[in-house]
Amino acid sequence: AKDFTILGIESSCDETAAAIVSADKSIHANKIASQIETHAKHGGVVPEVAARAHLDMIDDVIAAALADADMTFDDIDGIAATAGPGLIGGVIVGTVAAKAIAAARSIPYYAVNHLEGHALSGRLCSDIGFPYLLLLVSGGHTQLLAVTAPGTYHRMGTTMDDAAGEAFDKCAKIMGLGYPGGPAIETAAASGDAKSIRLPRPLRGADNCHFSFSGLKTALATKLAHLGGVQTAPIHDLAASLQAAIADCLADRTKRAMQIFATQTSTSHTSTTNTLVIAGGVAANKAIFARLQTEADAAGFQIIVPPAKLCTDNAAMIAWAALERHDQPDQLDFEPRPRWPLDP
Ligand code: KG4
Ligand code: ZN
């Protein structure tokens, strides 16, 4: 029998995406139509603009995914869509399209939590088992979670204010580097000196696993003003110093989580190596990855980082999250959830 195959749809933020994935982890198609150019004009995502763009693109993106996979709807056994958390307009566009296809084709429908997509993406690109420690770092979330099974998440830490990606985006805006901020800062930082400008490391050494980034943003704005603003300040040095500060914070808080995770799981599972999975758009940052790699080596954890196309928002991770429980579909009246924590 051929492997169960799911068409996944993602539309909770600024990418309209469709992908086709089978239970044996083959990714037949992974299409992403980005709205970055549309949103760059506004310096960020405008929800109403995003919802209209999703509506414009969704049919074409699904058709393109089927064409890439050289498949028709006859080859699709189930359909999954992000049902939250995220911008409600986009989520409605994606879930309504998915439900219509599911009803017309009489195939199961899966309402997927976007965060669960990120959380399980490490299993789509590797053969790691449970449990593992997850650092989820995106534009909307910065969390440390212990993942013990699909659907079972224990939140160990979260941000008290901004998400790490949000800190990159807001600081890039302050420095005139454009949107999205993460890649812009990483590029600028490449030719800057990370030790040149002193910035704080919020919560470093704290006993818990929480994060805080808004103080960093304020500190950066203050330094920038003292250095004469964007016209005269050494932007590359500021970018490098900021990236190092964010990397240090992520590494320090993750180090604490690895200590706790290792103690908690040492008695409860037999696997010899502990695993840290890093997911979400910020995981694409090479300096941050290098910093976390050092910390993981010291703690005896192996690191899994999905390739960039599976780290930033995509629909393959949504199809995969549904495949992890393909014998448990959802009802067609499942309501979209603008807020939907993994560990309520
Ligand atoms: O996971 P994602 O694609 O979307 C969600 O937020 O769900 O993450 C987007 C975030 C943005 O804040 C973006 O600035 C950040 O990830 N990002 C990066 C890099 N690439 C994307 N941050 C730092 N360095 C990067 N190379
Ligand atoms: Zn995301």
| pLDDT tens, position by position, 201-248 | 999 999 999 999 999 999 999 999 999 999 999 999 999 999 999 999
Nearest CA residue ID for atom 3, ligand 1: 312
Interatomic CA distance for residues 326 and 19, integer angstroms: 16
Per-residue pLDDT tens digits for 151-168 = 999 999 999 999 999 999
CA 216 → CA 79, 154, 250, distances in Å? Answer: 42, 27, 13
Q: What is the number of the ligand 1 atom nearest to the C-alpha of 286?
A: 26
Evaluated on CA atoms 120, 113, 12, 244, the torsion sign reads: negative
- 139 annotated as a binding-site residue: yes
Fold of 127-305: Nucleotidyltransferase; domain 5 (3.30.420)
Provide the pLDDT confidence category of residue 1 given band limits of 50, 70 and 90: low
Per-residue pLDDT tens digits for 87-132 = 999 999 999 999 999 999 999 999 999 999 999 999 999 999 999 9
- Give the least confident one: 80-84, 170-174, 267-271: 267-271
- 118 annotated as a binding-site residue: yes
Q: What is the number of the ligand 1 atom nearest to the C-alpha of 313?
A: 3
CA 288 → CA 135, 250, 282, 335, distances in Å? Answer: 12, 8, 8, 37
Nearest CA residue ID for atom 2, ligand 1: 281
- 274 annotated as a binding-site residue: no
pLDDT at position 35 is 75
Ligand 1 pocket, mutate which of 243, 249, 250, 282 (most atoms under 8 A from CB)? 282
Length of the chain equals 344
CA of 194 to the centre of ligand 1 (A): 20
- 186 annotated as a binding-site residue: yes
- 242 annotated as a binding-site residue: no
Q: What is the number of the ligand 1 atom nearest to the C-alpha of 14?
A: 4
Residue 85 in tokens: 């958390």
The 3 state secondary structure assigned to the chain is: CCCCEEEEEECCCCEEEEEEEECCCCEEEEEEEECHHHHHCCCCCCHHHHHHHHHHHHHHHHHHHHHHHCCCHHHCCEEEEEEECCCHHHHHHHHHHHHHHHHHHCCCEEEEEHHHHHHHHHHHCCCCCCCEEEEEECCCCEEEEEEEECCEEEEEEEECCCCHHHHHHHHHHHCCCCCCHHHHHHHHHCCCCCCCCCCCCCCCCCCCCCECCHHHHHHHHHHHHHCCCCCCCCHHHHHHHHHHHHHHHHHHHHHHHHHHHHHHHCCCCCCCCEEEEEECHHHHCHHHHHHHHHHHHHHCEEEECCCHHHHCCCCHHHHHHHHCCCCCCECCCCCCCCCCCCCC
Q: Where in the chain is the domain with CATH 3.30.420.40?
A: 5-120+310-323, 127-305
Q: Which ligand is nearest to the CA of 139?
A: 1
| Strand ranges, E, within 228-288 | 274-279
pLDDT at position 270 is 56
Q: Is the pLDDT at 269 greater than 60, yes or no?
A: no
Q: Is the pLDDT at 47 greater than 80, yes or no?
A: yes
Ligand 1 pocket, mutate which of 138, 171, 216, 305 (most atoms under 8 A from CB)? 138
| Strand ranges, E, within 56-195 | 78-84, 109-113, 132-137, 142-149, 152-158
**pTM of the full structure:** 0.92
Q: What is the number of the ligand 1 atom nearest to the C-alpha of 141?
A: 6
CA of 193 to the centre of ligand 1 (A): 22
- 285 annotated as a binding-site residue: yes
pLDDT at position 179 is 85
Assembly ipTM = 0.98
User: What CATH number does domain 5-120+310-323 carry, 3.20.80.10, 3.40.630.10, 3.30.420.40, 3.30.930.10?
Assistant: 3.30.420.40
Provide the pLDDT confidence category of residue 271 given band limits of 50, 70 and 90: low
Provide the pLDDT confidence category of residue 40 given band limits of 50, 70 and 90: confident
* pLDDT averaged over every residue in the chain: 94
Q: What is the average per-residue pLDDT within 47-51?
A: 85
Q: Which amino acid would we find at residue 231?
A: Q
Nearest CA residue ID for atom 6, ligand 1: 139
Ligand 1 pocket, CB under 6 A: 13, 138-140, 165, 168-169, 180-183, 186, 280-282, 284-285, 312-313
